[in-house]
Structure 1
């Protein structure tokens, strides 16, 4: 029997979860119980409020990451922009900090489990550090953020990376579920559910297989990737030198980061200390009185952030941003 666990969490998107649920339930009827589908949470049976006007669904069980079959993770529903605690980024970030992330990591380590995502579900996994280096897709609004987590964004309707299958926007839940039916139970069942739903899947499922297509560009020498060197373009570089105690106000809480910046030989160098982790600045550039750099952070989620700051005496202000996520305000004081 093929077991399907659809994971719910506070603020989940209704259609992300319900569309696959109906597809799998239809297949269950057509196959005389060759599969079983259940709504679950990381905590166990409970009513789970969605992000759509708080409408609730009842989860009947607790997610079992060791159960062979399919685990499907929906995205979140809410405003995309802004710093509201009910925004999609805030919901996903909070959920990524729960025990669900550890359970999904455990599931991905098994050969007999397929983890599937719909829409922002892939961002939920990515924010928990579970998709680094893996091809995936999410809602088109979140593709830049997906790349910022270290995943490899692929602009397809459905991406199959073996034990990880991801879908794009909200309605792709139908495509993901139908594709999984075809992959696990065969094309005849998937075709019959398509006929019942009067729905045809869109696009070609992307897999890392076959001949790699040639890019549609002129035959020009490709630039060689070399390690970028930090540059400085202002005589005011020394204004940023020193140790800085900074606070980044994110939608999911405040983040304390110590910055150490020094300029020598006309080059700006920097390190960021968060807890017991020290990370070097990437591509620091000083121009027009602003210092920018990129930084890989792991808390409150795994992201590549772009920083832009200015200083006024011993006070630093600026922003930290990743893709479409709301810019987080940075404030700090020089302590050395």
Structure 2
């Protein structure tokens, strides 16, 4: 019997749910694939008012074909969780593909998996990848060998379709895209600071200034420890 393709999403408190539920929706349509959501100790994970339970224990997973690390506001705490990071390193060492969405790439970077590698991240923290020796790339989906990373939150769907094309073929990826009616047509052209109205960018940056600065300082501290 053919072994199913195993895709693991390691979850942690403060994860952004769309970072993994977007890719999950796409990848769940892969034939012969086993998707696993896991956390340290299999504990229930809260995410923006939602709670994900009946999770598997990261420690009990032997290996996986695809490791997909989502991002979120809790990523800096996750990066400082020795048990969580140990499992990321262990599973990545045996994975065929090491992947991430949004600030999940920072977790991979802190684990020492992105040194010299091109990677994407949410635009607000993209430059911090360089602190870990990675090469920041401002694109929706970035690939460097067996490492594939999605940019900001919604790029997770683009990333997942790219991965399906890689794992099977483009025809299946297109059928999944059609089945999900994934045809983005946002009412505003404000999805990236390069195109959003300057006043909108300034307002968001002002609203998040304190939180962003605090988080960047934590990331800077972690990068020093990682090296």
What TM-score results when the alignment is normalised by the length of structure 1? 0.52
Is 2:159 the partner of 1:148?
no
8 Å CA contact 2:8–2:64 kept in 1: the answer is no
Q: Which blocks of at least 5 consecutive residues in structure 2 are unaligned?
A: 185-212
Greater strand share, structure number:
1
Cα distance, 1:251 vs structure 2? 5.2
Cα distance, 1:35 vs structure 2? 0.7
8 Å CA contact 2:67–2:92 kept in 1: the answer is no
User: Structure 1 residues 137, 163: CA separation in 2 closer, same or farther (over 3 Å shift)?
Assistant: same
Q: Larger Rg: 1 or 2?
A: 1
Structure 2: distance between partners of 1:21 and 1:200: 18
Cα distance, 1:109 vs structure 2? 2.6
Greater helix share, structure number:
2
8 Å CA contact 2:143–2:149 kept in 1: the answer is yes
- C-alpha RMSD over aligned residues: 2.6
Larger RCO: Structure 1 or Structure 2 (Cα < 8 Å, ≥ 6 residues apart)?
A: 2
The equivalent residue for 1:103 is 87
Structure 2: distance between partners of 1:59 and 1:182: 30
User: Structure 1 residues 303, 150: CA separation in 2 closer, same or farther (over 3 Å shift)?
Assistant: farther
The equivalent residue for 1:83 is none
Show the 5 A alignment for 1:107-122: 107-110=91-94, 112-122=95-105
Is 2:163 the partner of 1:180?
yes
Correspondent of 1:36 among 25, 34, 37: 34
Q: Which blocks of at least 5 consecutive residues in structure 1 are unaligned?
A: 77-87, 202-249, 256-296, 305-336
Correspondent of 1:2 among 5, 15, 25: 5
Cα distance, 1:113 vs structure 2? 2.7
| Moved >6 Å (runs of 4+) | none
SS of structure 2 residue aligned to 1:169? coil
Structure 1: distance between partners of 2:110 and 2:54: 24
Aligned length: 190
The equivalent residue for 1:287 is none
What TM-score results when the alignment is normalised by the length of structure 2? 0.75
The equivalent residue for 2:112 is 129
Structure 2: distance between partners of 1:13 and 1:145: 19
The equivalent residue for 2:44 is 47
